[in-house]
Amino acid sequence: MKISILVLVIVFFATSAYSQLFKAEENTTCADCHEDIYEHWKTSMHGRSTAESDILYKAMMNWAVEDTKGKAKKLCVQCHTPYQALKGQEGISESDLGRPVDCVYCHSIDNLQQHPRFSMTYYGPRDNTEEDFHKIEKREHFSDGSLCLSCHAELKNPKQLSVCVTGDEFAERPDQSKTCQDCHMPQSKDDEGGAYSGHGFNGAHNPEFLHKSLTLKTSKTDSGIEVVIINDKAGHSYPTGSPLRQVILKVVARDEKGNIVFENWKENPLEEDKQAVFMKIFEDEEKYAPVPPWRAAGVKMDQRFKAGETRRLAYNMPETAKEVTVKLLFRLAPLPILKRLGIDDPYLKKAHLIDEQTVQFN
Ligand code: HEC
Ligand code: HEC
Ligand code: HEC
Ligand code: HEC
Ligand code: HEC
Protein backbone atom coordinates (compact mmCIF):
# COMPACT_ATOMS: atom_id res chain seq x y z
CA MET A 1 0.00 0.00 0.00
CA LYS A 2 1.65 3.20 -1.15
CA ILE A 3 -0.02 6.53 -1.03
CA SER A 4 1.56 9.42 -2.81
CA ILE A 5 1.93 12.50 -0.69
CA LEU A 6 1.95 14.49 -3.89
CA VAL A 7 -1.29 16.22 -4.24
CA LEU A 8 -3.45 16.46 -7.31
CA VAL A 9 -6.06 19.08 -6.73
CA ILE A 10 -6.30 21.81 -4.21
CA VAL A 11 -9.72 22.69 -3.04
CA PHE A 12 -9.94 25.48 -0.62
CA PHE A 13 -12.88 26.75 1.36
CA ALA A 14 -12.49 29.91 3.33
CA THR A 15 -15.42 30.71 5.56
CA SER A 16 -15.35 33.34 8.26
CA ALA A 17 -15.84 30.77 10.99
CA TYR A 18 -13.08 28.71 9.52
CA SER A 19 -10.72 31.66 9.69
CA GLN A 20 -11.33 32.09 13.41
CA LEU A 21 -10.48 28.52 14.24
CA PHE A 22 -7.75 27.97 11.78
CA LYS A 23 -5.96 31.19 12.58
CA ALA A 24 -5.93 30.52 16.29
CA GLU A 25 -2.40 29.90 17.45
CA GLU A 26 -1.31 26.58 18.93
CA ASN A 27 -4.69 24.90 18.44
CA THR A 28 -5.99 26.39 21.66
CA THR A 29 -9.45 26.49 20.17
CA CYS A 30 -9.50 22.73 19.77
CA ALA A 31 -8.05 22.44 23.29
CA ASP A 32 -11.02 24.39 24.70
CA CYS A 33 -13.27 21.39 24.18
CA HIS A 34 -10.84 18.54 23.52
CA GLU A 35 -8.54 19.20 26.45
CA ASP A 36 -7.25 15.67 27.11
CA ILE A 37 -6.57 15.00 23.44
CA TYR A 38 -4.76 18.32 23.17
CA GLU A 39 -2.55 17.51 26.18
CA HIS A 40 -1.55 14.17 24.63
CA TRP A 41 -0.87 15.67 21.23
CA LYS A 42 1.16 18.60 22.54
CA THR A 43 3.84 16.32 23.97
CA SER A 44 3.72 13.81 21.10
CA MET A 45 6.27 13.89 18.27
CA HIS A 46 3.50 15.23 16.00
CA GLY A 47 3.23 18.23 18.31
CA ARG A 48 7.02 18.55 18.16
CA SER A 49 7.72 17.75 14.52
CA THR A 50 9.22 21.15 13.65
CA ALA A 51 12.86 22.27 13.62
CA GLU A 52 12.12 24.60 16.56
CA SER A 53 10.84 21.77 18.75
CA ASP A 54 12.94 18.76 17.66
CA ILE A 55 16.69 19.34 17.94
CA LEU A 56 17.57 16.06 16.23
CA TYR A 57 15.43 16.89 13.20
CA LYS A 58 16.83 20.42 13.11
CA ALA A 59 20.44 19.23 13.19
CA MET A 60 19.88 16.53 10.54
CA MET A 61 18.05 18.99 8.32
CA ASN A 62 20.85 21.54 8.61
CA TRP A 63 23.36 18.86 7.70
CA ALA A 64 21.26 17.72 4.73
CA VAL A 65 20.74 21.30 3.54
CA GLU A 66 24.45 22.06 3.78
CA ASP A 67 25.36 18.83 2.00
CA THR A 68 22.88 19.25 -0.89
CA LYS A 69 23.46 22.98 -1.35
CA GLY A 70 19.99 23.74 -0.08
CA LYS A 71 18.04 21.20 -2.15
CA ALA A 72 17.03 18.96 0.76
CA LYS A 73 15.04 21.60 2.60
CA LYS A 74 12.05 21.44 0.30
CA LEU A 75 11.83 17.70 0.89
CA CYS A 76 12.19 17.69 4.66
CA VAL A 77 9.48 20.23 5.36
CA GLN A 78 6.84 18.24 3.44
CA CYS A 79 6.00 15.95 6.35
CA HIS A 80 7.56 17.71 9.35
CA THR A 81 5.81 21.06 8.76
CA PRO A 82 3.10 20.00 6.31
CA TYR A 83 1.52 23.46 5.93
CA GLN A 84 4.60 24.37 3.87
CA ALA A 85 3.03 22.55 0.96
CA LEU A 86 0.16 25.07 1.11
CA LYS A 87 2.44 28.08 0.76
CA GLY A 88 0.92 30.84 -1.32
CA GLN A 89 -2.63 29.55 -0.87
CA GLU A 90 -5.33 31.97 0.14
CA GLY A 91 -5.70 32.14 3.91
CA ILE A 92 -2.27 30.63 4.67
CA SER A 93 -0.03 33.11 6.46
CA GLU A 94 3.71 32.98 7.16
CA SER A 95 3.09 31.80 10.73
CA ASP A 96 1.02 28.83 9.51
CA LEU A 97 4.03 27.55 7.58
CA GLY A 98 5.84 26.66 10.79
CA ARG A 99 2.97 24.64 12.26
CA PRO A 100 3.64 21.01 13.20
CA VAL A 101 1.47 17.99 12.31
CA ASP A 102 -1.56 19.34 14.15
CA CYS A 103 -5.29 18.77 14.84
CA VAL A 104 -6.52 21.00 12.06
CA TYR A 105 -4.20 19.43 9.51
CA CYS A 106 -5.13 15.77 10.14
CA HIS A 107 -8.81 16.39 10.79
CA SER A 108 -9.28 18.56 7.69
CA ILE A 109 -8.15 15.74 5.40
CA ASP A 110 -11.29 14.86 3.51
CA ASN A 111 -9.58 12.89 0.79
CA LEU A 112 -6.03 11.53 0.78
CA GLN A 113 -5.47 12.60 -2.82
CA GLN A 114 -6.00 16.25 -1.90
CA HIS A 115 -4.60 18.80 0.47
CA PRO A 116 -6.69 19.30 3.61
CA ARG A 117 -9.91 21.30 3.13
CA PHE A 118 -10.23 23.88 5.84
CA SER A 119 -13.82 24.49 6.83
CA MET A 120 -15.99 24.06 9.88
CA THR A 121 -16.25 20.36 9.13
CA TYR A 122 -13.78 18.01 10.77
CA TYR A 123 -13.33 14.49 9.51
CA GLY A 124 -12.89 11.63 11.91
CA PRO A 125 -13.55 7.95 12.52
CA ARG A 126 -17.30 8.42 13.11
CA ASP A 127 -20.26 10.42 11.82
CA ASN A 128 -21.82 12.70 14.39
CA THR A 129 -24.79 14.85 13.56
CA GLU A 130 -25.40 16.12 17.08
CA GLU A 131 -22.39 18.39 17.42
CA ASP A 132 -23.22 21.81 16.06
CA PHE A 133 -20.13 23.86 16.95
CA HIS A 134 -18.47 22.17 14.03
CA LYS A 135 -19.68 19.45 11.71
CA ILE A 136 -18.24 15.96 11.86
CA GLU A 137 -18.03 13.56 8.96
CA LYS A 138 -16.73 10.04 8.89
CA ARG A 139 -13.84 9.10 6.64
CA GLU A 140 -12.45 5.58 6.40
CA HIS A 141 -8.82 6.76 6.35
CA PHE A 142 -9.09 7.58 10.07
CA SER A 143 -9.73 3.91 10.82
CA ASP A 144 -7.71 1.84 8.37
CA GLY A 145 -4.25 3.41 8.81
CA SER A 146 -4.12 5.01 5.38
CA LEU A 147 -4.10 8.54 6.87
CA CYS A 148 -0.93 7.61 8.77
CA LEU A 149 0.64 6.15 5.65
CA SER A 150 0.23 9.43 3.78
CA CYS A 151 3.38 10.53 5.67
CA HIS A 152 4.76 7.26 7.04
CA ALA A 153 4.60 4.94 4.00
CA GLU A 154 7.84 5.70 2.23
CA LEU A 155 10.56 8.29 1.88
CA LYS A 156 12.82 8.16 -1.19
CA ASN A 157 16.08 10.04 -1.46
CA PRO A 158 17.19 11.96 -4.59
CA LYS A 159 18.67 8.72 -6.01
CA GLN A 160 15.23 7.10 -5.70
CA LEU A 161 16.43 4.78 -2.95
CA SER A 162 13.79 4.10 -0.28
CA VAL A 163 15.22 5.23 3.02
CA CYS A 164 12.13 4.70 5.22
CA VAL A 165 9.47 2.15 4.30
CA THR A 166 7.09 1.60 7.21
CA GLY A 167 4.29 1.22 4.59
CA ASP A 168 5.64 -1.93 2.91
CA GLU A 169 6.74 -3.37 6.24
CA PHE A 170 3.20 -2.87 7.55
CA ALA A 171 1.59 -4.38 4.43
CA GLU A 172 3.75 -7.51 4.80
CA ARG A 173 3.21 -8.06 8.53
CA PRO A 174 2.11 -11.66 9.20
CA ASP A 175 -0.45 -10.73 11.89
CA GLN A 176 -2.85 -8.34 10.15
CA SER A 177 -5.24 -8.03 13.08
CA LYS A 178 -4.10 -4.57 14.23
CA THR A 179 -3.84 -1.20 12.53
CA CYS A 180 -1.68 1.81 13.42
CA GLN A 181 -4.19 3.36 15.84
CA ASP A 182 -4.63 0.12 17.81
CA CYS A 183 -1.00 0.30 18.90
CA HIS A 184 -0.20 4.03 18.64
CA MET A 185 -3.51 5.59 19.72
CA PRO A 186 -4.79 3.27 22.48
CA GLN A 187 -8.06 4.20 24.21
CA SER A 188 -7.81 6.57 27.18
CA LYS A 189 -10.39 7.71 29.75
CA ASP A 190 -11.30 11.32 30.60
CA ASP A 191 -12.27 12.56 34.11
CA GLU A 192 -15.89 11.50 33.63
CA GLY A 193 -14.81 8.03 32.48
CA GLY A 194 -15.55 8.67 28.82
CA ALA A 195 -13.29 6.76 26.43
CA TYR A 196 -11.45 8.45 23.59
CA SER A 197 -8.55 7.62 21.31
CA GLY A 198 -5.22 8.60 22.84
CA HIS A 199 -3.27 11.15 20.81
CA GLY A 200 0.19 10.58 22.34
CA PHE A 201 1.34 8.71 19.20
CA ASN A 202 3.69 6.73 21.40
CA GLY A 203 6.84 5.53 19.74
CA ALA A 204 10.59 5.52 20.06
CA HIS A 205 10.60 8.70 22.16
CA ASN A 206 8.66 7.00 24.90
CA PRO A 207 10.83 4.62 27.01
CA GLU A 208 7.71 3.08 28.59
CA PHE A 209 6.34 2.20 25.18
CA LEU A 210 9.68 0.64 24.21
CA HIS A 211 9.90 -1.40 27.42
CA LYS A 212 9.33 -5.10 26.55
CA SER A 213 8.36 -4.17 22.98
CA LEU A 214 10.47 -7.11 21.76
CA THR A 215 10.25 -10.61 23.23
CA LEU A 216 13.60 -11.69 24.70
CA LYS A 217 14.37 -15.28 25.77
CA THR A 218 17.72 -16.49 27.05
CA SER A 219 18.63 -20.13 27.70
CA LYS A 220 21.69 -22.20 28.55
CA THR A 221 23.33 -24.39 25.91
CA ASP A 222 26.22 -26.89 26.17
CA SER A 223 28.78 -24.24 25.33
CA GLY A 224 27.18 -21.03 26.60
CA ILE A 225 23.86 -19.29 25.93
CA GLU A 226 21.28 -18.86 23.18
CA VAL A 227 19.45 -15.55 22.89
CA VAL A 228 16.11 -15.52 21.06
CA ILE A 229 14.58 -12.19 20.02
CA ILE A 230 11.09 -12.02 18.52
CA ASN A 231 9.49 -8.97 16.90
CA ASP A 232 5.92 -9.93 17.84
CA LYS A 233 4.69 -6.57 19.15
CA ALA A 234 5.30 -4.15 16.27
CA GLY A 235 3.21 -4.01 13.10
CA HIS A 236 6.31 -3.34 10.98
CA SER A 237 10.07 -3.84 11.15
CA TYR A 238 11.80 -3.09 14.42
CA PRO A 239 13.18 -0.44 14.41
CA THR A 240 11.14 1.24 11.67
CA GLY A 241 11.03 4.71 10.12
CA SER A 242 14.09 6.83 10.69
CA PRO A 243 17.30 4.95 9.80
CA LEU A 244 18.98 6.65 12.74
CA ARG A 245 17.50 4.11 15.14
CA GLN A 246 19.68 1.39 16.61
CA VAL A 247 18.86 -1.69 18.68
CA ILE A 248 21.88 -3.28 20.34
CA LEU A 249 22.37 -6.49 22.29
CA LYS A 250 24.83 -6.45 25.16
CA VAL A 251 25.99 -9.70 26.79
CA VAL A 252 28.17 -9.66 29.91
CA ALA A 253 29.34 -12.71 31.88
CA ARG A 254 30.85 -12.56 35.37
CA ASP A 255 32.72 -15.13 37.46
CA GLU A 256 32.12 -16.06 41.11
CA LYS A 257 33.88 -12.92 42.32
CA GLY A 258 31.92 -10.63 40.03
CA ASN A 259 34.78 -10.02 37.60
CA ILE A 260 33.83 -9.70 33.95
CA VAL A 261 34.98 -12.81 32.03
CA PHE A 262 33.11 -12.19 28.76
CA GLU A 263 31.65 -9.18 26.94
CA ASN A 264 30.33 -9.34 23.37
CA TRP A 265 31.56 -5.76 22.82
CA LYS A 266 33.27 -3.03 24.82
CA GLU A 267 33.58 0.10 22.71
CA ASN A 268 32.08 -0.38 19.27
CA PRO A 269 29.48 -3.14 18.76
CA LEU A 270 29.59 -2.79 14.96
CA GLU A 271 33.26 -3.72 14.91
CA GLU A 272 33.33 -6.18 17.77
CA ASP A 273 30.03 -8.09 17.38
CA LYS A 274 28.20 -7.04 14.25
CA GLN A 275 25.34 -9.55 14.63
CA ALA A 276 24.35 -7.74 17.84
CA VAL A 277 23.49 -4.47 16.03
CA PHE A 278 19.99 -4.29 14.58
CA MET A 279 19.83 -1.32 12.25
CA LYS A 280 20.05 -0.20 8.64
CA ILE A 281 23.26 1.22 7.22
CA PHE A 282 23.58 3.00 3.86
CA GLU A 283 26.52 3.12 1.43
CA ASP A 284 27.32 5.53 -1.41
CA GLU A 285 28.23 4.74 -5.04
CA GLU A 286 31.81 3.87 -4.06
CA LYS A 287 30.45 1.42 -1.44
CA TYR A 288 31.68 3.70 1.33
CA ALA A 289 29.61 3.33 4.52
CA PRO A 290 28.04 4.65 6.62
CA VAL A 291 26.58 7.61 4.72
CA PRO A 292 23.52 9.73 5.59
CA PRO A 293 20.26 8.81 3.79
CA TRP A 294 20.35 11.65 1.23
CA ARG A 295 23.79 10.49 -0.04
CA ALA A 296 22.92 6.79 -0.12
CA ALA A 297 23.06 4.73 -3.31
CA GLY A 298 22.41 1.38 -1.66
CA VAL A 299 21.87 -0.53 1.56
CA LYS A 300 25.08 -1.89 3.07
CA MET A 301 23.43 -3.75 5.93
CA ASP A 302 19.87 -4.21 7.17
CA GLN A 303 19.76 -6.30 10.34
CA ARG A 304 16.47 -4.93 11.65
CA PHE A 305 13.84 -7.46 12.76
CA LYS A 306 11.04 -7.95 10.24
CA ALA A 307 7.48 -8.04 11.61
CA GLY A 308 6.95 -11.45 13.21
CA GLU A 309 10.60 -12.47 12.81
CA THR A 310 12.45 -14.71 15.29
CA ARG A 311 16.23 -14.22 15.50
CA ARG A 312 18.61 -16.57 17.34
CA LEU A 313 22.12 -15.66 18.48
CA ALA A 314 24.57 -17.99 20.21
CA TYR A 315 27.46 -17.07 22.51
CA ASN A 316 30.13 -19.37 23.90
CA MET A 317 30.95 -18.78 27.54
CA PRO A 318 34.23 -19.43 29.39
CA GLU A 319 34.17 -22.18 32.06
CA THR A 320 34.48 -19.53 34.77
CA ALA A 321 31.19 -17.79 33.84
CA LYS A 322 28.72 -17.88 36.74
CA GLU A 323 26.19 -15.22 35.78
CA VAL A 324 25.34 -13.92 32.31
CA THR A 325 23.34 -10.71 31.83
CA VAL A 326 21.68 -9.99 28.49
CA LYS A 327 20.37 -6.51 27.69
CA LEU A 328 18.47 -5.23 24.66
CA LEU A 329 19.01 -1.50 24.22
CA PHE A 330 17.40 1.14 21.98
CA ARG A 331 19.22 4.22 20.72
CA LEU A 332 17.42 7.08 18.96
CA ALA A 333 20.65 7.82 17.09
CA PRO A 334 24.18 6.37 17.04
CA LEU A 335 26.58 8.20 19.36
CA PRO A 336 29.08 9.14 16.58
CA ILE A 337 26.27 10.87 14.66
CA LEU A 338 25.11 12.83 17.73
CA LYS A 339 28.72 13.88 18.21
CA ARG A 340 29.02 14.99 14.61
CA LEU A 341 25.80 16.99 14.94
CA GLY A 342 27.07 18.62 18.12
CA ILE A 343 24.13 17.27 20.15
CA ASP A 344 24.90 16.80 23.84
CA ASP A 345 21.36 16.11 25.02
CA PRO A 346 21.40 13.45 27.81
CA TYR A 347 18.04 12.02 26.70
CA LEU A 348 19.14 11.52 23.10
CA LYS A 349 22.45 10.05 24.24
CA LYS A 350 20.85 7.52 26.54
CA ALA A 351 20.46 3.86 25.61
CA HIS A 352 16.92 2.90 26.63
CA LEU A 353 16.36 -0.58 28.06
CA ILE A 354 13.95 -2.71 26.04
CA ASP A 355 14.45 -5.79 28.19
CA GLU A 356 17.00 -7.55 30.37
CA GLN A 357 17.59 -11.15 31.51
CA THR A 358 20.04 -12.95 33.73
CA VAL A 359 21.10 -16.61 33.53
CA GLN A 360 22.98 -18.41 36.33
CA PHE A 361 25.53 -21.19 35.78
CA ASN A 362 26.50 -23.51 38.63
C1 HEC B 1 -17.01 24.27 21.33
C2 HEC B 1 -16.45 22.95 21.56
C3 HEC B 1 -15.58 22.36 20.47
C4 HEC B 1 -14.48 22.91 19.86
C5 HEC B 1 -13.87 24.29 20.07
C6 HEC B 1 -13.94 21.89 19.00
N7 HEC B 1 -14.72 20.75 19.08
FE8 HEC B 1 -14.40 19.03 18.07
N9 HEC B 1 -16.03 18.17 18.99
C10 HEC B 1 -16.82 18.82 19.92
C11 HEC B 1 -17.84 17.88 20.39
C12 HEC B 1 -18.90 18.16 21.46
C13 HEC B 1 -17.64 16.67 19.68
C14 HEC B 1 -18.46 15.38 19.77
C15 HEC B 1 -18.08 14.57 20.95
C16 HEC B 1 -16.79 13.89 20.80
O17 HEC B 1 -16.64 13.05 19.91
O18 HEC B 1 -15.87 14.17 21.61
C19 HEC B 1 -16.47 16.89 18.83
C20 HEC B 1 -15.92 15.91 18.02
C21 HEC B 1 -14.79 16.11 17.24
C22 HEC B 1 -14.19 15.08 16.42
C23 HEC B 1 -14.63 13.64 16.42
C24 HEC B 1 -14.88 13.06 15.09
C25 HEC B 1 -15.36 11.64 15.17
O26 HEC B 1 -15.38 11.03 14.08
O27 HEC B 1 -15.72 11.13 16.25
C28 HEC B 1 -13.13 15.65 15.81
C29 HEC B 1 -12.16 14.97 14.82
C30 HEC B 1 -13.03 17.02 16.24
N31 HEC B 1 -14.06 17.27 17.10
C32 HEC B 1 -12.04 17.89 15.85
C33 HEC B 1 -11.91 19.19 16.34
C34 HEC B 1 -10.82 20.07 15.96
C35 HEC B 1 -9.70 19.72 15.00
C36 HEC B 1 -11.04 21.24 16.64
C37 HEC B 1 -10.19 22.51 16.58
C38 HEC B 1 -10.00 23.06 15.24
C39 HEC B 1 -12.26 21.09 17.41
N40 HEC B 1 -12.76 19.83 17.20
C41 HEC B 1 -12.80 22.05 18.22
C42 HEC B 1 -16.70 20.11 20.37
C43 HEC B 1 -15.73 21.00 19.97
C1 HEC C 1 7.61 11.45 3.62
C2 HEC C 1 7.59 12.25 4.83
C3 HEC C 1 8.93 12.72 5.38
C4 HEC C 1 9.89 13.47 4.76
C5 HEC C 1 9.85 14.02 3.35
C6 HEC C 1 10.98 13.64 5.74
N7 HEC C 1 10.66 13.03 6.91
FE8 HEC C 1 11.82 12.94 8.59
N9 HEC C 1 10.42 11.78 9.48
C10 HEC C 1 9.22 11.40 8.90
C11 HEC C 1 8.52 10.53 9.79
C12 HEC C 1 7.16 9.90 9.51
C13 HEC C 1 9.35 10.38 10.93
C14 HEC C 1 9.05 9.53 12.13
C15 HEC C 1 9.61 8.18 11.92
C16 HEC C 1 10.41 7.77 13.03
O17 HEC C 1 10.29 8.36 14.13
O18 HEC C 1 11.19 6.83 12.85
C19 HEC C 1 10.53 11.19 10.70
C20 HEC C 1 11.60 11.32 11.60
C21 HEC C 1 12.74 12.03 11.35
C22 HEC C 1 13.85 12.16 12.27
C23 HEC C 1 13.93 11.59 13.66
C24 HEC C 1 13.53 12.67 14.61
C25 HEC C 1 13.63 12.33 16.06
O26 HEC C 1 13.30 13.20 16.88
O27 HEC C 1 14.02 11.24 16.43
C28 HEC C 1 14.79 12.93 11.67
C29 HEC C 1 16.14 13.35 12.24
C30 HEC C 1 14.27 13.29 10.36
N31 HEC C 1 13.02 12.72 10.19
C32 HEC C 1 14.95 14.07 9.45
C33 HEC C 1 14.47 14.38 8.19
C34 HEC C 1 15.23 15.13 7.21
C35 HEC C 1 16.61 15.73 7.44
C36 HEC C 1 14.46 15.20 6.09
C37 HEC C 1 14.82 15.83 4.75
C38 HEC C 1 16.04 15.34 4.14
C39 HEC C 1 13.21 14.47 6.37
N40 HEC C 1 13.26 14.00 7.66
C41 HEC C 1 12.17 14.31 5.46
C42 HEC C 1 8.72 11.76 7.69
C43 HEC C 1 9.42 12.46 6.74
C1 HEC D 1 1.23 15.01 7.97
C2 HEC D 1 2.20 13.93 8.14
C3 HEC D 1 1.91 12.86 9.17
C4 HEC D 1 0.77 12.11 9.36
C5 HEC D 1 -0.55 12.19 8.58
C6 HEC D 1 1.05 11.17 10.42
N7 HEC D 1 2.33 11.35 10.89
FE8 HEC D 1 3.24 10.36 12.41
N9 HEC D 1 4.88 11.53 12.23
C10 HEC D 1 5.07 12.50 11.27
C11 HEC D 1 6.38 13.10 11.44
C12 HEC D 1 6.98 14.20 10.58
C13 HEC D 1 6.95 12.49 12.58
C14 HEC D 1 8.33 12.76 13.18
C15 HEC D 1 8.35 13.95 14.03
C16 HEC D 1 9.73 14.13 14.63
O17 HEC D 1 10.23 13.19 15.26
O18 HEC D 1 10.28 15.22 14.46
C19 HEC D 1 5.99 11.50 13.04
C20 HEC D 1 6.21 10.65 14.12
C21 HEC D 1 5.37 9.61 14.48
C22 HEC D 1 5.67 8.62 15.49
C23 HEC D 1 6.96 8.52 16.27
C24 HEC D 1 6.86 8.88 17.68
C25 HEC D 1 8.16 8.68 18.41
O26 HEC D 1 8.10 8.61 19.64
O27 HEC D 1 9.22 8.56 17.79
C28 HEC D 1 4.61 7.76 15.54
C29 HEC D 1 4.45 6.54 16.42
C30 HEC D 1 3.65 8.21 14.56
N31 HEC D 1 4.13 9.34 13.93
C32 HEC D 1 2.45 7.57 14.30
C33 HEC D 1 1.48 8.05 13.41
C34 HEC D 1 0.17 7.48 13.27
C35 HEC D 1 -0.34 6.27 14.03
C36 HEC D 1 -0.49 8.22 12.32
C37 HEC D 1 -1.90 8.06 11.83
C38 HEC D 1 -2.93 8.19 12.85
C39 HEC D 1 0.43 9.27 11.87
N40 HEC D 1 1.61 9.12 12.56
C41 HEC D 1 0.15 10.23 10.89
C42 HEC D 1 4.20 12.84 10.27
C43 HEC D 1 2.90 12.36 10.15
C1 HEC E 1 -1.65 12.55 12.89
C2 HEC E 1 -3.05 12.87 12.67
C3 HEC E 1 -3.86 13.36 13.84
C4 HEC E 1 -3.62 14.47 14.61
C5 HEC E 1 -2.42 15.40 14.58
C6 HEC E 1 -4.74 14.59 15.51
N7 HEC E 1 -5.62 13.57 15.31
FE8 HEC E 1 -7.41 13.33 16.23
N9 HEC E 1 -7.61 11.48 15.38
C10 HEC E 1 -6.76 10.96 14.44
C11 HEC E 1 -7.18 9.60 14.13
C12 HEC E 1 -6.51 8.63 13.15
C13 HEC E 1 -8.33 9.34 14.93
C14 HEC E 1 -9.13 8.03 15.00
C15 HEC E 1 -8.49 7.14 16.05
C16 HEC E 1 -9.20 5.82 16.26
O17 HEC E 1 -9.95 5.38 15.40
O18 HEC E 1 -8.96 5.23 17.33
C19 HEC E 1 -8.57 10.56 15.69
C20 HEC E 1 -9.63 10.74 16.56
C21 HEC E 1 -10.00 11.97 17.13
C22 HEC E 1 -11.21 12.24 17.86
C23 HEC E 1 -12.28 11.23 18.19
C24 HEC E 1 -11.81 10.56 19.46
C25 HEC E 1 -12.74 9.54 20.03
O26 HEC E 1 -12.27 8.41 20.23
O27 HEC E 1 -13.89 9.85 20.31
C28 HEC E 1 -11.17 13.56 18.27
C29 HEC E 1 -12.21 14.29 19.09
C30 HEC E 1 -9.93 14.10 17.79
N31 HEC E 1 -9.24 13.12 17.10
C32 HEC E 1 -9.49 15.40 18.01
C33 HEC E 1 -8.18 15.83 17.79
C34 HEC E 1 -7.62 17.06 18.31
C35 HEC E 1 -8.36 18.07 19.15
C36 HEC E 1 -6.31 17.09 17.93
C37 HEC E 1 -5.22 18.11 18.28
C38 HEC E 1 -5.02 18.34 19.69
C39 HEC E 1 -6.09 15.92 17.10
N40 HEC E 1 -7.23 15.16 17.07
C41 HEC E 1 -4.88 15.62 16.43
C42 HEC E 1 -5.70 11.60 13.85
C43 HEC E 1 -5.12 12.78 14.31
C1 HEC F 1 0.99 -4.35 16.59
C2 HEC F 1 1.32 -3.01 17.06
C3 HEC F 1 1.77 -1.97 16.02
C4 HEC F 1 1.15 -1.65 14.84
C5 HEC F 1 -0.07 -2.29 14.19
C6 HEC F 1 1.90 -0.52 14.31
N7 HEC F 1 2.95 -0.21 15.14
FE8 HEC F 1 4.27 1.31 14.89
N9 HEC F 1 5.33 0.66 16.53
C10 HEC F 1 4.99 -0.41 17.33
C11 HEC F 1 6.07 -0.66 18.27
C12 HEC F 1 6.09 -1.74 19.33
C13 HEC F 1 7.07 0.32 18.01
C14 HEC F 1 8.42 0.50 18.72
C15 HEC F 1 9.49 -0.25 18.01
C16 HEC F 1 9.86 0.23 16.65
O17 HEC F 1 10.34 1.38 16.54
O18 HEC F 1 9.67 -0.53 15.67
C19 HEC F 1 6.56 1.14 16.94
C20 HEC F 1 7.22 2.22 16.41
C21 HEC F 1 6.69 3.08 15.43
C22 HEC F 1 7.27 4.32 15.02
C23 HEC F 1 8.45 4.97 15.66
C24 HEC F 1 9.70 4.74 14.94
C25 HEC F 1 10.81 5.50 15.58
O26 HEC F 1 11.90 4.95 15.65
O27 HEC F 1 10.62 6.64 16.00
C28 HEC F 1 6.51 4.82 14.01
C29 HEC F 1 6.74 6.10 13.23
C30 HEC F 1 5.42 3.91 13.81
N31 HEC F 1 5.57 2.85 14.68
C32 HEC F 1 4.40 4.08 12.89
C33 HEC F 1 3.40 3.14 12.63
C34 HEC F 1 2.43 3.27 11.56
C35 HEC F 1 2.33 4.45 10.62
C36 HEC F 1 1.64 2.15 11.61
C37 HEC F 1 0.53 1.77 10.67
C38 HEC F 1 0.88 1.82 9.25
C39 HEC F 1 2.12 1.34 12.73
N40 HEC F 1 3.19 1.98 13.31
C41 HEC F 1 1.58 0.12 13.12
C42 HEC F 1 3.83 -1.13 17.26
C43 HEC F 1 2.92 -1.09 16.20
In ligand 3, which atom is closest to the CA atom of 101?
A: 1
Probe target for ligand 2 pocket from 80, 157, 247, with the most ligand atoms within 8 Å of CB: 80
Question: Residues 122-134: pLDDT tens digits?
Answer: 999 998 877 778 8
Report which bound ligand comes closest to the CA of 103. 4
Please confirm whether the linkage preceding 269 is cis (ω < 30° from 0). Answer: no
CB atoms within 10 A of CB 119: 19
For ligand 1, whether the C-beta of 140 sits within 6 Å is no
CA dihedral 140, 142, 143, 148 (to 10 degrees): 120
Average pLDDT of the chain, as a whole number: 91
Cβ-contact 237, 173 below 8 angstroms: no
d(CA 146, CA 1): 8
Rounded to the nearest angstrom, the distance between the alpha carbon of 230 and the centre of ligand 3 is: 24
Question: Residues 5-37: pLDDT tens digits?
Answer: 333 223 333 344 455 556 555 556 888 889 999
Rounded to the nearest angstrom, the distance between the alpha carbon of 68 and the centre of ligand 2 is: 17
| Sequence-separated contacts (24+) of 256-261 with Cβ below 8 Å | 256/320, 256/322, 261/317, 261/318, 261/320, 261/321
Is the pLDDT confidence value at 267 over 80?
yes
Is the pLDDT confidence value at 236 over 90?
yes
Residue 200's pLDDT band, with cuts at 50, 70 and 90, is very high
In ligand 4, which atom is closest to the CA atom of 141?
A: 12
Question: Residues 314-358: pLDDT tens digits?
Answer: 999 999 999 999 999 999 999 999 999 999 999 999 999 999 999
Contacts of 250 (CB under 8 A, 6+ apart): 263, 264, 265, 269, 276, 326, 327, 329
pLDDT score for 2: 35
For ligand 3, whether the C-beta of 67 sits within 6 Å is no
Rounded to the nearest angstrom, the distance between the alpha carbon of 197 and the centre of ligand 4 is: 7
